[in-house]
Amino acid sequence: MKKSITLLLLFLILQTLQAESGYQLWLRYELVKDTTLLKEYHKQVKTLFIDGDSPTLSVVEKEMVIGLSGLLGKNIPVSRTLETDGTIVCGTFDSPAIKKLNLKSKTTTADGYVIQTLSLKGKKIIAIAAQSDIGVLYGAFFFLQQLQANKNIANLAIQSDPKIDLRILNHWDNLDRTVERGYAGFSLWNWHKLPEYLDPRYTDYARANASIGINGTVLTNVNANALVLSEQYLIKVKALADLFRPYGIKVYLTARFSAPIELGGLKTADPLVPEVRKWWKDKTDEIYSMIPDFGGFLVKANSEGQPGPQNYGRNHADGANMLAEALQPHNGIVMWRAFVYDDKVPDDRAKQANNEFEPLDGKFHSNVMVQVKNGAIDFQPREPFHPLFGAMPKTPLMMEFQLTQEYLGFSTHFVYLAPLFKETLDSDTYAKGKGSTVAKVIDGSLFDHKLSGIAGVANIGTDINWCGHPFAQSNWYAFGRLAWDHSLSSDQLAEEWIRFTFSNEKSFIDPVKNIMLSSRETTVEYMTPLGLHHIMDWSHHYGPGPWITDKHRDDWTSTYYHKADTNGIGFNRTATGSNAVGQYAKPVNDLFSSLDTVPEEYLLWFHHLPWDYKTKSGKTLWDALCYKYYEGANTVKEYQKTWASLKGKIDQELFDEVTMLLDIQYKEAVWWRNACLLYFQTFSKKPIPSGLEKPTATLEYYQKLSFPYAPGIQPKW
Ligand code: GCW
């Protein structure tokens, strides 16, 4: 015991001496600086009582001990009595100590928790209780966060239940440890050294996820490799699953549809062929014999060259249901992705998912969820909500957000994504009249579904700070918190994260929060303003490439999407064009179709308009476009100034890191602005409005730039 206290103190001292790398994420547990508050906390938190014994409750104890000693700067002893003033007691509702307390509020879910201050025989104690051990763990983290945020804990009466049941990270990690669209190093999963070598980082990963309520992880890329389903790899998967279990994190795998051929030696993967069905059933049974709480499969089928049921003339429901049947006896689920587009170039790629999936509504087994990206194209800086969210009432739909910044400046640009997530979640589908928000679709409440889920494509890798950009951590954080409670505001989440990660000082929080809250809009402005989309460079997606054209698939080019010509610019998706608007409910269709009502941010998403079209601001379309691009780049310059003024308020190394990244971001914002405007100018034939500095480089210069080694490229399959 003594030894562990000495080690702990040593650890705390070392921590303060070392420069901060960002490794600790939002779990820094720094000593509370406000001395009055610290004194209060010392009175309120004296001992810790963990009522029960389980791997998860051991995690609770460990986390509380680390957290409290860090925050309070003193050792908090662990006892087994309620007799002391200042006891923090953690346990399930049916544990003896918690039972004694007769807590008034209860939770409605297994994951939910209650945190309550109460008096017992004149002693003030705080109870952290839940239906399950995992709920207790979530409550413990939330309690520590109250201290991290310097909140008053004198009279806690908190009750919290997650609104969405499955809160999952999707790793696009390959078995060779490259990460598709990953900008933070290599994959965390060291397959070569697993199962024997358990990198301590796996535990820190689990802690971080549990601290924000994430309860599932898909370990492998949706562009799947069947090998992960072989015994050789399943042993490794099991090692990770065993490690994650006490943290409430279930493991899922991507299932390559052709695995019965590649691994099983069958001649076909046709989902209606009995041998194929048997292969999946046996494989699934094998997985569960090793990992009894295995979560299930995530599948990308018949999309971007991935095999799927359509190869055999079957549909998505046939494929998904085959896997669902294999998983059903084990309570596993299938997450079948709706990000599909086949070999034929459609008149409008935005329509394809609805075209293929709407007719299948009601045909999926009860343990299938269809996983839908937030927008119909592909994680663009801004997209209107995916029309499928209002169009499949009989099927539980999962949300898929992208945390990794494939289209948002990789891990170089400072972009806080909560406003993007919220914009989609708060969108009204009108599927059952006004107020039918996307959030209500995915939390299951609108159409009364038992299953509910949300996935985030992870932005995590082996970089010391996990996400590449110190501020990219906030996207992992905000995703987890919103998955738990989608009604939280971007503002609140930004503030929490800043407090936990950097500082409780208002003079730091306010300006940094301002940058965070506007950062996504700023990025849209210098990349794809007014509803432009998919104008990035070819394949690696790094930097601007509005000139990309004449590739083997038209719907992978930029010209397909912006349709700029001497007449104007934009994709006509109204009834006179592709009629993608027809996939929305009437009020949404009307809103987007009419030039009087379409929000300016979606203007060119839905309309092709002449260059001299008068926008609401009174400016011509060309001028409005120019001003937006300039505004975006100029705002990054403002960020640089604001950030520079914060020197000395946080760790110097971290400060310098963000300074350098902002320098790159500004350079790249100007690059986006100049390249796009010079290119569009060849059609508009109009000058850049006076007063705006003219690009110094030529369009040819930008077009010649080449980046053969840009990170995160999609490997050839
Ligand atoms: O946007 C595209 C990405 C691919 C990705 C695909 C998908 C995993 O460029 O890299 O593949 O989306 O979501 O399946």
- Alpha carbon nearest to ligand 1 atom 2, residue: 378
Q: What pLDDT, on the 0 to 100 scale, is given for residue 172? A: 98
Per-residue pLDDT tens digits for 618-660: 999 999 999 999 999 999 999 999 999 999 999 999 999 999 9
Atom of ligand 1 nearest to the CA of 223: 8
Q: Which of 46-55, 237-246, 352-361, 708-717 has the lowest mean pLDDT?
A: 708-717
pLDDT at 104: 85
User: Which ligand 1 atom is nearest residue 400's CA?
Assistant: 13
pLDDT digits (tens, 9 = 90+) for 474-520: 999 999 999 999 999 999 999 999 999 999 999 999 999 999 999 99
DSSP 216: E
- Report DSSP state, residue 320: H
Percent of the chain residues past pLDDT 90, beyond the cut? 94
Taking the C-alpha atoms of residue 481 and residue 486, their distance in angstroms, rounded to an integer, is 8
| 302-338 pLDDT, tens digit each | 999 999 999 999 999 999 999 999 999 999 999 999 9
Q: Which residue has tokens 């006004």?
A: 434
Residue 716's pLDDT band (cuts 50, 70, 90): low
Query: Percent of the chain beyond pLDDT 70?
Result: 97
Residue 689 one-letter amino acid: P
pLDDT at 623 (0 to 100): 98
For residues 474 and 147, give the distance between their C-alpha atoms in angstroms, rounded to a whole number. Answer: 19
Query: Would you tell me the crossing angle of helices 55-72 and 133-148 to the nearest 10 degrees?
Result: 10
CA 542 to ligand 1 center in whole angstroms: 14
Residue having the nearest C-alpha atom to atom 10 of ligand 1: 714
For residue 187, how far is its CA from the centre of ligand 1 (angstroms)?
17
Q: Please identify, by atom number, the ligand 1 atom nearest to the C-alpha of residue 300.
A: 14
The string of pLDDT tens digits covering residues 400-434 is 999 999 999 999 999 999 999 999 999 999 999 99
Say if residue 696's pLDDT is above 90.
yes
- Per-residue pLDDT of 508-526, as tens digits, reads 999 999 999 999 999 999 9
With contact defined as beta carbons under 8 Å apart, do 285 and 294 qualify?
no
CA distance linking residue 557 with residue 550, whole number of Å? 7
Q: Summarize the confidence of residues 533-539 as an average pLDDT.
A: 97
Atom of ligand 1 nearest to the CA of 714: 10
* Residue 225, pLDDT above cutoff 70: yes
| CA distance to 587, 613, 669, per residue, from 525 (Å) | 27, 19, 9
pTM for the full model? 0.97
Q: CB of 304 within 8 A of CB of 341?
A: yes
The pLDDT value recorded for residue 573 is 98
- With a cut of 80, say whether residue 11 has pLDDT above it: no
Q: What is the pLDDT of residue 166?
A: 98
For residue 607, the tally of other CB atoms under 10 A from its CB is 25
Ligand 1 centroid – CA 402 distance (Å): 10
- Tens-digit pLDDT profile for residues 12-67: 555 555 578 999 999 999 999 999 999 999 999 999 999 999 999 999 999 999 99
Between CA 266 and CA 572 the distance in angstroms is 46
Kind of pairing between the strands at 568-569 and 397-402 = unpaired
Q: If you measure from the C-alpha of residue 200 to the centroid of ligand 1, how many angstroms do you get, rounded to a whole number?
A: 30
Which residue has the CA at smallest separation from atom 7 of ligand 1?
Answer: 339
Which residues are tagged catalytic?
Answer: 304, 378, 406
At 281-301, the pLDDT tens digits run 999 999 999 999 999 999 999
Question: Is residue 397 within a helix (H) or strand (E), and if so which, with residue range?
Answer: strand 397-402
Determine how β-strand 123-130 pairs with β-strand 113-120. antiparallel
- Only one residue has tokens 């939002």, namely 26
Sole residue written with tokens 């998706």: 573
240 contacts: CB under 8 Å, gap ≥ 6: 189, 194, 202, 219, 251
> What confidence category does residue 717 fall into, taking pLDDT thresholds of 50, 70 and 90?
very low
Mean pLDDT calculated for residue range 700-704: 98
Question: What was the pLDDT predicted at 1?
Answer: 46
Q: How confident is the model at residue 704 (pLDDT cuts 50, 70, 90)?
A: very high
179-217 pLDDT, tens per residue?
999 999 999 999 999 999 999 999 999 999 999 999 999
| Distance (Å) from CA 176 to ligand 1 centroid | 18
Output the CA torsion 419→400→589→620 (10° steps).
50
Q: Which residues line ligand 1 at a C-beta cut-off of 6 Å?
A: 172, 180-181, 222-223, 300, 304, 339, 378, 714
Q: What is the pLDDT of residue 81?
A: 87
Please give the mean pLDDT across all residues of the chain: 96
